[in-house]
Amino acid sequence: MTSLVAVSAYLPSAVPIESLQGELELTDAQLRRLRRFYGLSEVCRSGESEAETLLAAAGKLTALAGQEKRVRYLVRAKTMPGATPYPVNPMLEVRDALGLSQATMFTLTDHACASGLLAVDLCGTLLAADGDPDALALILCGEKAFTHTAQVIPDVAIMGEATAAVLVAPGGDRDRVLGFATATHGGPGGAVILSDEEATEFRQIYPDALAEVTHAAVAEAGLRLSDIDLVLPHNVNRVSWIRAGGALGLPKEKIFLGNVGSTGHCFCADPFLNHATATSLGLLTPGSNYLMVSVGLGSTFSAMVCQH
């Protein structure tokens, strides 16, 4: 059974959302709505390169130190297909700096901001098929908000630049993956940049599609929704999750929203950022069942149930 051996997070300094008003072309009304109703206060921004922010997250994985030769896969889970000019590839720098030259390296962008959960499921499948119980996979999430399109989802979220690193094993007793469900409702290619018509359709299907994958993942885990102790969501905004919790019948105190106001929506990294924070706060205890949820524009909905 796939397990998360360790999860780490790197949170660059946060800046007030007001300081980004001009850059993001936000009106005063939009800014007030983001702060007052959506609960956004600050967003993580970094002057470092993408490679540096990824290495900062990986450097906090104490479980990786001395185990580099066991890493069979180095996976980059991304929302945006490209963020650097050809032929620059930050992952080559990351691979060399971490001493992972033997690892097979590839990138996943298929599920946009839900690609991080896809990466966990895929790495678990690959490691199980390889048949080496000691093999590991390292997943790196989070990216630079490098253009206006990548910096803001209009009237939904502001993108942040925090990163996360996840060490995955094909078995073990730490953070075992009990269930995973995903569904893509978009058209061919699942465009991340939506037209006004597509954005309206996305908002309309959002509650039911989110509920569908949540119930499917919980059922695959052999649990009921009442058995879930904590939800680790993607950090879009508070109001969307309060509404989603109400639609699912989940008490809002079970949904961890502690990072929403201070990190921004950090692409694929959000559930893992929340995992690291929740663990440090003692919100996940041995035996806790938790649900990681992420949604990618395009429109992909994913949910994963784990036991701490």
**pTM recorded for the entire structure:** 0.94
Calpha distance 253→230 (Å, rounded)? 8
Report the 10 Å Cβ neighbour count for 29: 8
Give, to the nearest 10 degrees, the angle between helix 90-98 and helix 50-58: 30
Quick one: 186 and 208 in the same domain? yes
Please, are residues 266 and 236 in contact by the beta-carbon 8 Å criterion? no
- Which 8-state DSSP code applies to residue 252? G
Q: Which two tokens stand for residue 30?
A: 């939009």
Please, are residues 71 and 125 in contact by the beta-carbon 8 Å criterion? no
User: 4 - beta bridge partners?
Assistant: 168
Quick one: 238 and 132 in the same domain? no
Quick one: 143 and 202 in the same domain? no
User: 296 - beta bridge partners?
Assistant: 300
- Which 8-state DSSP code applies to residue 173? S
Strand, coil or helix: 153:
strand
Calpha distance 279→229 (Å, rounded)? 13
Strand, coil or helix: 224:
coil
Q: Which two tokens stand for residue 187?
A: 């058209």
Quick one: 165 and 203 in the same domain? no
The H-or-E segment that residue 176 falls in is strand 176-184
Quick one: 24 and 131 in the same domain? yes
Quick one: 160 and 216 in the same domain? no
Strand, coil or helix: 236:
coil
Quick one: 180 and 165 in the same domain? no
- Which residue carries 């540096």 as its tokens? 52
The H-or-E segment that residue 260 falls in is helix 260-263
CATH code: domain of residue 97: 3.40.47.10
Domain count, the chain: 2
User: Which backbone phi and psi does 274 adopt, to 5 degrees?
Assistant: -70, -35
Calpha distance 192→184 (Å, rounded)? 12
CA-nearest of 258, 44, 71 to 161 is 44
Quick one: 189 and 231 in the same domain? yes
Q: How many residues in the chain?
A: 308
> Mind listing the pLDDT tens digit of every residue in the chain (308 residues)?
999 999 999 999 999 999 999 989 999 999 999 998 899 999 999 999 999 999 999 999 999 999 999 999 999 999 988 777 778 889 999 999 999 999 999 999 989 999 999 999 999 999 999 999 999 999 999 999 887 778 888 878 999 999 999 999 999 888 999 999 999 986 544 455 666 676 677 778 888 889 999 999 999 999 999 999 999 999 999 988 888 888 888 898 999 999 999 999 999 999 999 999 999 999 999 999 999 999 998 789 999 999 99
Quick one: 28 and 147 in the same domain? yes
- Which 8-state DSSP code applies to residue 70? G
What pLDDT is recorded for position 188? 42
Quick one: 132 and 208 in the same domain? no
- Domain carrying residue 284: 176-307
Calpha distance 157→159 (Å, rounded)? 6
